[in-house]
């Protein structure tokens, strides 16, 4: 299909790991991104992965890329209440075109 798909909601307890999944559309996408949006704010880049990588780790964040299945995931270790936000998956294709998912609202309960 033509949509980047991700679940709309995820709820976890503080201290647990969060895993947000995404299925993208274009097997030739060069970059896959995770953006974070806090209430009332614009989107900020959280992390990204180049398409020739299958994993990227950055402190509490781990990104896994399965190109065969066009599946991207974001794992947040030791999730904190400050991680509560909407997380958008995005793909970059055709050099300058971007396609976004609908966003996953992560709620972290104390």
- Applying CB under 8 A, does 88 fall inside the site for another protein? yes
- Applying CB under 8 A, does 93 fall inside the site for another protein? no
The stretch among 19-27, 41-49, 61-69, 71-79 that binds another protein (CB under 8 A) is 41-49
14 vs 43, beta carbon nearer another protein: 43
Cα atoms in the Cβ-side hemisphere of radius 13 Å centred on 9: 2
Distance between CA 37 and CA 43 in Å, rounded?
5
Q: How many helices and strands (H and E) does the chain possess? A: 0, 11
- Applying CB under 8 A, does 53 fall inside the site for another protein? no
């Amino acid at each position: 299909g033509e949509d980047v798909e991700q679940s709309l909601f995820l709820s976890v307890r503080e201290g647990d790991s969060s895993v947000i999944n995404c299925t993208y559309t274009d097997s030739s996408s060069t970059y896959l991104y995770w953006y974070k949006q806090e209430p009332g704010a614009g989107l900020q880049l959280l992390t990204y992965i180049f398409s020739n990588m299958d994993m990227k780790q950055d402190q509490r964040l781990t990104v896994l890329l399965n190109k065969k299945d066009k599946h991207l995931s974001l794992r947040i270790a030791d999730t904190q209440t400050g991680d509560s936000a909407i997380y958008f998956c995005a793909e970059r294709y055709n050099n300058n075109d971007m396609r976004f998912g609908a966003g996953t609202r992560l709620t972290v309960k104390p």
